Amino acid sequence: MTRVWDLPIRLWHWLFGGCVAFSLYTGLSGEFSLMEWHQRSGYAVLALLLFRVGWGLWGGLYTRFRHYVTTPRDVLAHFFRSLRADDAAPRAHTAPGIALVVLLFLMVAVQATTGLFATDDIFINGPLRGYVEEETASAMNWVHHRAFWLIIALVSTHLLAHVVYGAMRDPTPLSMITGRKAVDLPATDHYLLRGALTIAATAGLVYVALRLL
């Protein structure tokens, strides 16, 4: 078993999942009293998205973007043995896993960004609502109130995949707890100081940006 997930990315994973789930709950509950918390959760999601971008550039070895490149053929080859190359080098992440993570990251980014412009036309306005034309704000609002269905679908697929792994007694579902996967690769370092500085910088950037609006 090789450590492919450093500690900062594991902490990020659980914080990100929790914030996305909380944002979905507060946004879909229909409780007006929760909308302030919905906005705060959205800001936390933005900070976590920025952290992941930074960590994809200078984070743990297998969290860097060069390990998140795949093709439709690679995804199909994961399920159909006839398409697999016999001499394929071991990889830290599966092709379907890469595709799902990239799509989920992009959809959450769309959801969080459009939320900055969203409005209920009565009480709640995103912090950037006043900086765009009515037509642009309306388009952002339309996306924000529909894109979450894709996020739910992707998260459900992710969870279902882990249920299948568990049924097959594959240890992959535990990898975001232990950090280890059954791959023949060098172990990554944790880069704890780098992680602390990155989250402090991204959280500070979001906070300052919102204060200036």
Can you give the CATH number for the domain in which 159 is found? 1.20.950.20
Q: How far apart are CA 199 and CA 193, in angstroms?
A: 10
Which residues, other chains included, contact 135 with Cβ-Cβ below 8 Å and sequence gap of 6+? none
Packing angle between helix 134-144 and helix 95-115, nearest 10 degrees?
140
Total number of domains in the chain = 1
pLDDT tens string, the chain, 213 residues long: the values are 899 999 999 999 999 999 999 999 999 998 888 999 999 999 999 999 999 999 999 999 999 999 999 999 999 998 887 667 766 778 899 999 999 999 999 999 999 999 999 887 667 788 888 888 989 989 999 999 999 999 999 999 999 999 999 898 888 889 999 999 989 899 999 999 999 999 999 999 999 988 887
Domain that holds residue 14: 2-212
pTM, two decimal places: 0.92
